[in-house]
Amino acid sequence: MLLHVPDVLDKAQLARIRTALASADWTDGKETVGAQGALVKRNRQLPDASPLRQELGRIVLDALAASPLYFAAALPLRTLPPRFNCYEGGGNYGFHVDGSVMSVAGAGGQAAGHLRSDIACTLFLSEPDEYEGGELVVSDTYGEHQIKLPAGDLIVYPASSLHKVEPVTRGARLASFFWVQSMVRDDTRRRLLFEMDTSIQTLTRAAADANAVLTLTNIYHNLLRQWAET
């Protein structure tokens, strides 16, 4: 499921992150990918051990926790601490697939466990008119989808998808990106639950028959109970 989640960051949160990144110490983005990814990746990232990455990551995680739409779509169980990158001067990232299992760092940078990457997320931090190019391209069975969202908006998509970032030919494209292990690993089941949840909310707002809404809510939770892994 490919989903646009608007206004994840408010203006104050966005300004705080942008101000901090303006004077950040970046590193080569190739340091956080394997040999295949390094062949097609040209960007800069905040170092994984950077205190700034941790500080800004907490802002992103707090904003996600306040987004019902994001929670309904992702049903997050574990989230890899958000990373931050910058594309400029022709920087790009060719077609690639994300690793299926990722290490989660603990205290002192030591591995504290692993996360299955069910969902990939990109949170745009630059306005579309601040740069040219830089579209996120996600390839699935329906073709290629080009995504370039307003600052503060999030795109959620299956981590199993081939995807790339087009070259940035003017300006700078700032973003945060991260992966999620969902309580429901199967994308088709997540989509069904999301569509049912959305329908329940719509019916509730429309003051539909209360017993019918209760029945649908019961079905939703029973399906989630059957499919969830926690």
The structural domain count of the chain equals 2
- Beta-carbon contacts of 38 under 8 Å, excluding residues fewer than 6 positions away, are 30
Whether the CA torsion 122, 128, 134, 139 is positive or negative: it is positive
Whether 20 and 46 map to the same domain: the answer is yes
Assign residue 194 the CATH number of its domain. Answer: 4.10.860.20
Q: Is 110 found in the same domain as 215?
A: no
CATH number for position 105: 2.60.120.620
Answer yes or no: do 178 and 193 share one domain.
Answer: no
Same domain, 120 and 46: yes
199 and 90 housed in the same domain: no
Residues 25, 131 within the same domain: yes
pLDDT of residue 109: 59
Same domain? 67 vs 110: yes
| In a shared domain, residues 98 and 14 | yes
Please say if the pLDDT value at position 98 is more than 90.
yes
Final residue in a domain of this structure, among 145, 161, 182: 182
pLDDT computed for residue 107 by the predictor: 57
Domain range enclosing 201? 187-227
Give me the mean pLDDT over the 211-230 stretch: 98
d(CA 110, CA 2): 33
Q: Check whether residue 106 and residue 197 sit in a common domain.
A: no
Do 167 and 133 lie in a common domain? yes
Say if residue 128 is in the same domain as residue 203: no
- Calculate mean pLDDT across residues 95-115: 82
CA 65, CA 68: separation in Å to the nearest integer?
8
pLDDT of residue 108: 57
In a shared domain, residues 165 and 60: yes
Task: For residues 214 and 228, give the distance between their C-alpha atoms in angstroms, rounded to a whole number.
Answer: 21
Does position 35 have pLDDT exceeding 90, yes or no? Answer: no
pLDDT of residue 160 exceeding 80, the answer is yes
| Percent of the chain whose pLDDT exceeds 70 | 97
What is the structure's pLDDT at 32? Answer: 78
Summarize the confidence of residues 11-22 as an average pLDDT: 98
Tell me which amino acid residue 19 is.
T
